[in-house]
Homo-oligomer: A and B are copies of this chain.
C-alpha cells in the first residue's frame, strides 16, 4: 500500500509544484483530523499557521507546537499525525528528490 501522503490522505495533502528535484505539498486540516500512516522524504517544512500535533510511529509519539512563519527540517520518516490543537494545520512541505546541478551550466533567468 502506498505511503505517499497524497495517496493516503488526498483530502489533506495537495501537490502545489513538482519537478525532477522537488515536490511541494500543501497540508491543511482542522482540529481533530488525523492522517493515515504515511512517508516523507527529507523535507523542508514551512508553517503557514500555528498548530499543535501529535505524531506517532510504531510505539513512539511526539507532540509538536509550531508557530506560523517558521522553517523546520523534517528528516525522512514514516508517521501518522493528529491535529490535537484548536487551530487548523497549514504547512508547506518541500520534498527533496535528487542531486544538484552547477549554476554555471544554467540558461535560466528568473523563476520557471
Number of copies: 2
Interface contact A71-B17, CB-CB below 8 Å: yes
**Shortest Cβ distance from A75 into B: residue:** B108
Interface contact A98-B100, CB-CB below 8 Å: yes
Residues on B with beta carbons closer than 8 Å to the beta carbon of A62 = 109-110
Query: Per-residue CB proximity of A35-50 to B under 8 Å, as 1/0?
Result: 0000111101110000
Interface contact A72-B103, CB-CB below 8 Å: no
Residues on B with beta carbons closer than 8 Å to the beta carbon of A16 = 71
- Could you show 22 A-B contacts with beta carbons less than 8 Å apart? A16-B71, A21-B96, A40-B103, A41-B100, A41-B101, A42-B100, A45-B111, A46-B92, A55-B110, A60-B109, A71-B92, A73-B112, A74-B111, A75-B106, A75-B112, A76-B100, A76-B101, A76-B102, A76-B105, A77-B109, A78-B103, A99-B99
> Do most interface residues of chain A lie in helix, strand or loop, or is the interface mixed?
strand
Q: How many residues does chain A have at the interface if contact means C-beta atoms less than 8 Å apart? A: 47
Q: Which residues of A contact B (CB under 8 A)?
A: 3, 16-17, 19, 21-22, 24, 39-42, 44-46, 55, 57, 60, 62, 64, 66, 71-79, 92, 94, 96-103, 105-112
